[in-house]
Amino acid sequence: MNITVIGSGYVGLVVGACLAETGNAVVCADVDAAKIDGLKRNVLPIYEPGLDAYVERNQQAGRLRFTTDVGEAIAAADVVFIAVGTPPDEDGSADLSHVLAVADAIGKHMTRELVVVTKSTVPVGTAAKVSAKIGEHARFPYHICSNPEFLKEGAAVDDFMKPDRVVLGVETDHARSVMAELYAPFVRTGRPIIFMDIPSAEMTKYAANAMLATRISFMNEIANLCEQVGANVDLVRKGVGSDDRIGPAFLFPGPGYGGSCFPKDVKALVHTGDEFGASLEILKSVEAVNDRQKRLLFAKLERALDGKLRGARIAVWGLAFKPNTDDMREAPALVLIDELLAAGATVAAHDPAAMPEARRRLDDRVAFADTGYAALEGADALVVVTDWNEYRHPDFGRIRTALRRPIVVDGRNLYDPAKMRALGITYLSIGRAGGGTA
């Protein structure tokens, strides 16, 4: 099939590269000329394991190309994916201006019967707006489909190539047939394609992310209570997660969720609820808990240093909101660093992938170290914010020697409290007896 993907950010690039991998002729179109120029040279604008190989291989094979000519890309397509951003407005609602601008372009430039797929995360009712906007100019039949993405940053290629499920909201037999054919190579092992009406598909994406965010905030609340009552959240997590009705995923306590999806999607769903008079009180609490949790590491560190942060130097390991990505949107590390700087401390930071993005965001307010150990030199304490693999088994003797004061605040519960105490390290983690309080 001739596929056009409009938007070459995180979602669009993964969709385009993976669809090209199964033999489709794919054009990724974007108005950002610098981004397109880089992609033509196999320089990706994001860090995503394995994606660079897919882009390079399919460009070389002629199945994948990049362009700034959105109209030309639409004119050649049988299927157009809309994969542009939907950033939050000030009121928390999703900004649909980019989506509707693409819909307008589709109506003007389509040259044949077309299936139009909303891949961007959009609130219920967006497909109808997209259809209306296309219809203002369309001279050929078109079919709207909602196809929400469920890609995890750091594992997006595998998620697309081997999906848990494919959700497709369709209204016509033609759209159903085309999309079933397009996704057939990805569900050969029996994973389901779930067809539904378009509003249900639009809601499914938000409901899924809201559920995962709720699990994170719930477990963070339980972890904080564990500290107060002397329980160990690691054991509680295992006990709860072994229940088949609950399962173990997204029950790890930490410094709060971040990234491009959970924060904005929870806000957008809360806004939709208020708009339709169905206030989502649980999700409002999920947001409040998450905002509070992002300040937990600073509070622990402040107690460990007896409130004497002015003039202190703090090493921070991990800047991305999660491992295997360079995404710092809504990252807990940003909240921590802002609080440290406001308190008069200096910060030396390291991240395996997010250093370029961190330099762009933080400029010269932070000292950036080439290695995690280099960040420790002369520091009064270490805070672990992101659970990158290279931080899981460090040389604790080297940490103990490099730090001016042997204080480690572990926001991901990576280390054993008993071992840290035996090494003479003041160790603070989240929700664990012996490692939770100063």
Beta bridge partners of 143: 115
How far is Cα 156 from Cα 150, in angstroms, rounded to an integer? 8
Residue 34 is inside which H or E element, if any? helix 33-40
Residue 340 is inside which H or E element, if any? helix 332-342
How far is Cα 82 from Cα 311, in angstroms, rounded to an integer? 49
Q: Exactly one of 18, 145, 226, 261 is catalytic; which is it?
A: 261
How far is Cα 120 from Cα 233, in angstroms, rounded to an integer? 36
DSSP for residue 384 = E
Q: Report the SS3 class of residue 52.
A: helix
Radius of gyration of the chain (CA): 24
State the amino acid at position 163 in one-letter form: P
For 45, 232, 292, 298, 437, the CA distances from 287, given in Å and listed in that order, are 29, 24, 9, 19, 24
How far is Cα 201 from Cα 205, in angstroms, rounded to an integer? 7
Contact 188, 81 (CB under 8 A): no
Structure tokens at 295: 């300040």
Q: Report the SS3 class of residue 65.
A: strand
261 has catalytic annotation: yes
Catalytic site positions: 261
